[in-house]
Structure formats: structure tokens, C-alpha cells
């Protein structure tokens, strides 16, 4: 025992817990399907050196003030918009995420969602189960072509590039908009840069792979939806608040765009009274982008290793604020 303490905010795979329990005194919020209540979290962090948290846990100044010994916050996610990174950096607390390991699983899910939305798979399945299938009909449950269509990718990072590679297998024309042009990716993947508005106007499918930041909040709103084709499909497996959900609801309801596939929402879980639930032309998933057994286990292991290797050797693997390491020693 190194005498150091770790709090884990949810039941996680045993292989990840073993990494922590071998070295530290570990306390776990033992539930699988419930966010740790705030008062328990604030109480538990009082003595800890490390926090293993999920994207459902808000790590803000209030929490940091309640945790005077905290040295590392290890998020079991690549996105870290749930964490006030600037406040952590100010207090010399390292923040880590889980990049790379979930890229392919999330890109697979994005493509599954794109196909399911384009070809109306959930609606078709409900139709059959509800006993509505009377006969093969020429235009029954007809969708949009995917093969050979134009895909616009917003945010050409790890997942955006992985989605582009999949799209090439469907002979799609792939456009992208990102903060920086990537000439190497353009050549290797055969993709084309467009500015944001051009991409929205030209694409049959728009897929969002941006992190949620102050700049990307509301990145797709009324104006942007108005630029899209009436036959276009919007896919969001990034973060809900990147899209203005009310504006999206209106665009879908009024058929100004054709459909949307959403894995993420402004409020999660999606409220029972969300009007999105009433629309036939939207496919809704419960934030399962990275949800394969292997990927979720690997994410938990990376988060645990970040804690172990920072607390024992000062070397986290995937810090998002590495400047803390330079100033800490």
C-alpha cells in the first residue's frame, strides 16, 4: 500500500479496479446504473489523492475545493467537457482522458447510426413487430442512398478520420471542416476541405465529431440547419450541446432536413417529455458510441493506469493539461 487514496465514482470492470487496488486504498461507489449523488461525491473526495470519474460526474470548483489532496482526475472518456480543466490546472491537478482506444468503436457506431437513419431501420423494425407488414410495396419504408453519397465531417480528429475511412468503403465523396486543414489526411484518405457553410450545403450526410467547448456549443443551429439540403441527414455522436436541439426539432418536424441520428443530447438521459421522442424521422441512442465490452474495459484500464503511473511515478499516459507536469516537480 502506498498510503494513497482513490475514489471511483461507479462500478468499473474488475481488471481496471485490480490495477488500483494493488497500489492504493480504493473506495468505489458500488452502483452500475446510477450517478453518484453529489453529496456523497463531495464527502468522498475530501481525503483522496485521485478521482476516477465518468462523463456523468461534474468536476468543478466546488468539488476541487472539497478535495485539498487531489492530484489527478482521470476521466473514463475521451471527451472531458464535464471537467473544469482550467480550475484543475490552476490547482496543479492533472486531468487525463482516454483517447484512441475508443476511436474505432465510436466510428463503427457512427456508421451504424448513419445507415440506420438513412434506411429507417428502427422504424422498419417497429413496423414489423407491430404487425403492420401486409405486403411488399414499391415505396414502403424507402430511405436515402448511402453508397456514393456525399458525407460532410465536422471535426477531423481521431474519430472523424476513422469515419472518413469507413465512408470510402461506401464510395462516398467525403468533405471535412476542422480547425486546421490536414493536407496529409486529404491525400491519404482522398477527402476534401470545405468551409463550414459549403460543407453543410453540399453534404447528404453531416456527421459531427467536435469536442464540446465554448466555441463549439451551438455549432449547429437554426442558420446551419437552414443551409442543409431537405434530403440531408444529421448524425451526432459527439456531444449534445454542439447542436441546438430545439432548432433541430423544428427542422425535423417541418421536414426542412430529412432525418437525424443522435447518440448524444443536451440533457442526458434524454428527458421523457423531449419532443424529439415524438418524431418518426429521428433515431435516438443512449450514448453508446464506445460501448463494446473490449473498448469500455480498455477505457477503464487506461484511466486506472493514468492514476497508478502518475501517483507512483509522476507519469500519466494521456494528460489533457500536461503543463501541470512541467510546473509540478
| Residues belonging to the active site | 239, 268, 287
Strands 233-236 and 205-208: parallel
Question: Which span sits near ligand GLV by CB under 6 A: 3-11, 22-30, 77-85, 184-192?
Answer: 77-85
Least separation in angstroms between residue 42's CB and ligand NAP is 25
Closer residue to ligand NAP, CB minimum distance, 157 or 316 = 157
CA distance 257 to 189: 28
Strands 72-75 and 50-53: parallel
CB 89 within 8 A of CB 112: no
Q: Does 290 bind ligand GLV (CB under 6 A)?
A: yes
Long-range contacts of 268-275 (CB under 8 A, 24+ apart): 268/56, 268/240, 274/245, 275/249
Closer residue to ligand NAP, CB minimum distance, 204 or 263 = 263
CA distance 319 to 172: 35
Q: Does 99 bind ligand NAP (CB under 6 A)?
A: yes
CB 303 within 8 A of CB 98: yes
Q: Does 78 bind ligand GLV (CB under 6 A)?
A: yes
Q: Does 268 bind ligand NAP (CB under 6 A)?
A: no
Give the three cell numbers for residue 224.
446551419
Least separation in angstroms between residue 183's CB and ligand GLV is 27
Question: Which span sits near ligand GLV by CB under 6 A: 4-12, 73-81, 177-185, 304-312?
Answer: 73-81
CA distances from 79 to 73, 103, 109, 286 (A): 13, 12, 16, 16
CA distance 68 to 71: 9
Least separation in angstroms between residue 9's CB and ligand NAP is 17
Closer residue to ligand NAP, CB minimum distance, 13 or 211 = 211
Question: Which span sits near ligand GLV by CB under 6 A: 6-14, 17-25, 74-82, 196-204?
Answer: 74-82
Closer residue to ligand NAP, CB minimum distance, 152 or 289 = 289
Closer residue to ligand GLV, CB minimum distance, 36 or 172 = 36
Q: Does 79 bind ligand GLV (CB under 6 A)?
A: yes
CB 324 within 8 A of CB 89: yes
Question: Which residue number places its CB atom closest to ligand GLV?
Answer: 79
Within 91-120, which residues bind ligand GLV (CB under 6 A)?
Answer: 102
Q: Which does 210 bind (CB under 5 to 8 A by kind): ligand GLV, ligand NAP, none?
A: ligand NAP
CB atoms within 10 A of CB 1: 8
CA distances from 78 to 36, 98, 228, 231 (A): 20, 5, 29, 32
Residues that bind ligand GLV (CB under 6 A): 55, 77-79, 102, 289-290
Residues that bind ligand NAP (CB under 6 A): 78-79, 99, 102-103, 106, 155-160, 178-180, 209-213, 215-216, 237-239, 263-264, 287, 289-290
Amino acid at each position: 500500500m502506498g498510503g494513497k487514496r482513490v475514489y471511483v465514482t461507479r462500478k468499473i470492470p474488475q481488471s481496471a479496479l485490480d490495477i488500483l487496488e494493488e497500489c492504493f486504498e480504493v473506495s468505489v461507489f458500488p452502483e452500475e446504473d446510477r450517478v453518484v449523488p453529489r453529496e456523497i461525491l463531495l464527502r468522498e473526495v475530501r481525503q483522496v489523492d485521485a478521482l476516477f470519474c465518468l462523463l456523468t460526474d461534474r468536476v468543478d470548483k466546488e468539488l476541487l475545493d472539497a478535495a485539498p489532496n487531489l492530484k489527478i482526475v482521470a476521466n473514463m472518456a475521451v471527451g472531458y467537457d464535464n471537467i473544469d480543466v482550467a480550475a484543475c490546472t490552476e490547482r496543479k491537478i492533472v486531468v487525463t482522458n482516454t483517447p484512441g482506444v475508443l476511436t474505432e468503436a465510436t466510428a463503427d457506431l457512427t456508421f451504424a447510426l448513419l445507415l440506420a437513419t438513412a434506411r429507417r431501420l428502427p422504424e422498419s423494425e417497429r413496423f414489423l413487430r407491430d404487425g403492420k407488414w401486409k405486403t411488399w410495396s414499391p415505396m414502403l419504408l424507402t430511405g436515402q442512398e448511402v453508397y456514393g453519397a456525399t458525407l460532410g465531417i465536422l471535426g477531423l480528429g481521431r474519430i472523424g478520420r476513422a469515419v472518413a475511412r469507413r465512408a470510402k468503403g461506401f464510395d462516398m465523396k467525403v468533405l471535412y471542416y476542422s480547425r486546421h486543414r490536414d493536407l496529409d489526411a486529404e491525400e491519404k484518405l482522398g477527402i476534401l476541405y470545405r468551409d463550414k457553410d459549403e460543407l453543410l450545403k453540399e453534404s447528404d450526410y453531416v456527421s459531427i465529431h467536435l469536442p464540446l467547448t465554448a466555441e463549439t456549443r451551438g455549432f449547429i443551429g437554426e442558420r446551419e440547419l437552414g443551409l442543409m439540403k431537405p434530403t440531408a441527414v444529421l448524425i451526432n455522436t459527439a456531444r449534445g450541446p454542439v447542436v441546438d436541439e430545439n432548432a433541430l426539432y423544428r427542422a425535423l418536424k417541418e421536414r426542412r432536413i430529412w432525418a437525424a441520428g443522435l447518440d448524444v443530447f443536451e440533457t442526458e438521459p434524454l428527458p421523457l417529455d423531449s419532443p424529439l421522442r415524438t418524431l418518426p424521422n429521428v433515431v435516438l441512442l443512449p450514448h453508446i458510441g464506445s460501448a463494446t465490452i473490449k473498448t469500455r474495459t480498455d477505457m477503464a484500464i487506461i484511466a486506472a493506469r493514468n492514476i497508478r503511473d502518475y501517483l507512483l511515478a509522476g507519469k500519466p499516459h494521456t494528460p489533457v493539461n500536461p503543463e501541470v507536469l512541467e510546473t509540478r516537480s
